[in-house]
C-alpha cells in the first residue's frame, strides 16, 4: 500500500454547535459545512475546511457529536469530557484492496466496509493494532464511482 | 484571526523507530524525515510527509518520543500506553499577533513563544481552553525570516 492523503482528523465534541463557534470565533475558520446526521454511525458530523496554497482543500477537521446515548463515541467522551482527537483518516485508491492489505497483516478491522461521511466506502482499523490511533481508511472520492458492495 | 494551514498533527509514541516501521510497512509511507532531538522540549521528533494532489506537501504526522523521564509527554503516554494523537498544529502568518489574539480571548498559553521543529516560532494553547485539543500555533515558514524574540 502507498500512503494516501490525510483526508481528515476526527475530533469528538459534546456539541457541534459549540465547536463551530470555537472554530469560527477563536480559530478564524470561514468555511464550515452544514452539520448532518449519520444515523448508522450514531453521530452528527460537520467538516471544518482548512487552507492549502491552492484553496480550501487541506486536511479537514471532522467534528463528531453523539446522536444519542448509544453512540459509539460516548465512551471516548466519557474518557475525554472536553472532547478531543478521536481518529485519523487516510485515503486509499481502492478500498477492497486496502481491506485485504490490513487483514493480511492481522490488523483488526472494526465492522463492515460502509459508506462514510464523504459518500465513499470506508472502514476503521483498531487503535490497538495501529500504535494507539483509531484509523479510518477511506476510498478517495471519484466522479462516477460505482462502488456498491 | 484567519484559520491557517493544518501544518501537522502530533502523535506521541514510546518509540519513533517502531512508529517509522509502522508508517513504512503498514501505511506505505515513503517520505519520512530523519529523527532529531529537541532537547528544550524534551522530545525526539520525526515527520511523516503525506501527499496532496501537488506533491508530498500535505499535513504532516509529527512523531514525538520522550527524550527522558522528565519529558512533558510522559504523562500523556502514561494515560495512552500505546501512544496516540497528542496535539494539532495550525499555521499563522504572524506569531506575535496570534499570541495577542489568544491572550485577549483569555486562552491559556503554555510557556513562552519558542522555536519549534520547523525552525519557526511556536506556542501551545491549553487543551482546556480549546475544546480538549492541545493546540500548537506555528508561524508559517518564510524564507529570510528575521524573527529573533
Chain B partners of A65 at a C-beta cutoff of 8 Å? none
Pairwise CB contact (< 8 Å): B85 & A28: no
Chain A partners of B5 at a C-beta cutoff of 8 Å? 50-52, 58
Does residue B149 register a pLDDT over 60? no
Mutate to test the interface with A, among B52, B56, B73, B131 (most CBs of A within 10 A): B131
ipTM comes to 0.94
Does residue B27 register a pLDDT over 70? yes
| Mean pLDDT taken over chain A | 95
A90-132 per-position pLDDT tens digit: 999 999 999 999 999 999 999 999 999 999 999 999 999 999 9
Task: Give the pLDDT band of residue A33 (cuts 50, 70, 90).
Answer: very high
Q: How many residue pairs from chains A and B have C-beta atoms closer than 8 A?
A: 125
Q: Which three cell numbers stand for residue B94?
A: 504572524
Chain B partners of A48 at a C-beta cutoff of 8 Å? 3
Domain annotation for chain B: domains and CATH numbers: 6-139 (3.10.180.10)
Pairwise CB contact (< 8 Å): A52 & B48: no
The predicted pLDDT at position A142 comes to 84
A37-52 per-position pLDDT tens digit: 999 999 999 999 999 9
Task: Give the pLDDT band of residue A143 (cuts 50, 70, 90).
Answer: low
* Number of DSSP helices (H) and strands (E) in chain A, helices first: 3, 8
B68 in contact with chain A, both atoms CB, cutoff 8 A: no
Distance from CA of A34 to the nearest CA of B (A): 18
Does residue B26 register a pLDDT over 90? yes
Q: B4-41 burial by CB neighbour count: b if 16+ within 10 A, else e?
A: bbbbbbbbbbbebeebbebbeebbebeebeebeeeeeb
B45 in contact with chain A, both atoms CB, cutoff 8 A: no
Pairwise CB contact (< 8 Å): B88 & A90: no
Does residue A144 register a pLDDT over 70? no
The predicted pLDDT at position B142 comes to 84
Q: Determine which helix (DSSP H) or strand (DSSP E) holds A99, and give its type and residue range.
A: helix A95-104
Q: Which of residues 111-140 of A touch B (CB under 8 A)?
A: 127-128, 130-133
B136 classed as catalytic:
yes
Pairwise CB contact (< 8 Å): B130 & A58: no
The predicted pLDDT at position A132 comes to 98
A55 in contact with chain B, both atoms CB, cutoff 8 A: no
Does residue B143 register a pLDDT over 50? yes
Half-sphere exposure of B130 (CA within 13 A, CB side): 23
- φ, ψ of residue A143 in degrees (nearest 5): -70, 140
Task: Give the pLDDT band of residue B145 (cuts 50, 70, 90).
Answer: very low
Amino acid at each position: 500500500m502507498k500512503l494516501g492523503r490525510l483526508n481528515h482528523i476526527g475530533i469528538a465534541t459534546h456539541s457541534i454547535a459549540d465547536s463551530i463557534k470555537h472554530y469560527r470565533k477563536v480559530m478564524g475558520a470561514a468555511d464550515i459545512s452544514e452539520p448532518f446526521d449519520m444515523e448508522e454511525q450514531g453521530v452528527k458530523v460537520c467538516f471544518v475546511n482548512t487552507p492549502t496554497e491552492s484553496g480550501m482543500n487541506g486536511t479537514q477537521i471532522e467534528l463528531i457529536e453523539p446522536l444519542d446515548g448509544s453512540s459509539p463515541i460516548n465512551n471516548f467522551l466519557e474518557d475525554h469530557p472536553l472532547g478531543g482527537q478521536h481518529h485519523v483518516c487516510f485515503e486509499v485508491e481502492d478500498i477492497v484492496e486496502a481491506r485485504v492489505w490490513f487483514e493480511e497483516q492481522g490488523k483488526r478491522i472494526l465492522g463492515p466496509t460502509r459508506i462514510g461521511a464523504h459518500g465513499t466506502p470506508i472502514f476503521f482499523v483498531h487503535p490497538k493494532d495501529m500504535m494507539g490511533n483509531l484509523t479510518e481508511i477511506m476510498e478517495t472520492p471519484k466522479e462516477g464511482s460505482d462502488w456498491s458492495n
